[in-house]
Amino acid sequence: VQLQASGGGLVQAGGSLRLSCAGSGRTFSTYAMAWFSQAPGKERQFVAGIATLGGSSYYADSVKGRFTISRDNAENTVYLQMNSLKPEDTAVYYCAARYGSNWLLQPNSYAMDYWGKGTQVTVSS
């Protein structure tokens, strides 16, 4: 599975962005998908994840109520709608895939099968 993230940019605090991650291959729907973020000098951290068929989604506490993850398996695409953005959301955002869905209960950036290139999100105050 090859992944390509897009949609990052510069936005003022309180604004919104929508990230997209396009995947290749006919097995896209067998992979749960996730978004991770990495700020300068910090470790990559889990932001949100969604099960293979989109029935369950999971969020980091810091983004609950502000971010929404979704997927369209017909289009091999996963999305991250980011609302009420804060300066502390500034980071490079990566999409990632891992086979199955059980791992979403304890997401681990070191255990992902595939990564896309990151997209920069900058939130100004």
Average pLDDT over the chain reads 96
Distance CA 15, CA 32 (A): 28
pLDDT of residue 25: 79
Task: Give residues with Cβ within 8 angstroms of 27, minimum separation 6.
Answer: 1
Between 25 and 51, name the one with better pLDDT. Answer: 51
The rounded radius of gyration (Å) of the Cα atoms in the chain is 13
**Is the confidence at residue 61, as pLDDT, over 90?**
yes
DSSP secondary structure letter of residue 111:
G
Q: Residue with structure tokens 């105050």? A: 125
Q: What letters, b where the CB count within 10 A reaches 16 and e where it falls short, cover 66-104? A: ebbbebebeebbbbbebeebeeebbbbbbbbbbeebebb
pLDDT of residue 33: 97
What does the pLDDT average to over 88-93? 98
pLDDT of residue 26: 78
Q: Which amino acid is at 25?
A: G
CB 14, CB 26: distance < 8 Å: no
**Is the confidence at residue 1, as pLDDT, over 90?**
no
Choose from 69-73, 97-101, 103-107 the range with maximum mean pLDDT: 69-73
Task: Give residues with Cβ within 8 angstroms of 71, minimum separation 6.
Answer: 33, 50, 54, 77, 78, 79
Distance CA 34, CA 105 (A): 12
